[in-house]
Amino acid sequence: MVTSELPFAWARIRLDGADVTFPHLLGDVDVDDVHIGMRVRAVWAHQDTLAPTWESIRHFAPEAG
């Protein structure tokens, strides 16, 4: 199970090429720095716990660059 410390942020994520969004946690970013249009990348769970579920994505983090 993944836990988050307060405060935390979540966002509606839209993957490149997709028409729909889905909610997920944001991490590795200060809540005050989150903005609409922010590009993010998936942060995956440890290799030993990967499974074909949403839980394999720990959170999304700002894309470097």
Per-residue pLDDT in tens (0 to 9) along the chain, 65 residues: 667 778 889 999 999 999 999 999 999 999 999 999 999 999 999 999 999 998 899 999 999 86
Could you tell me the pTM of the whole model?
0.85
Task: Please report, for residues 4, 27, 36, the alpha-carbon distance to residue 41 in angstroms, rounded to integers and kept in the order given.
Answer: 18, 10, 15
Predicted pLDDT at 7:
85
Q: Distance between CA atoms of 49 and 45, rounded to whole angstroms? A: 6
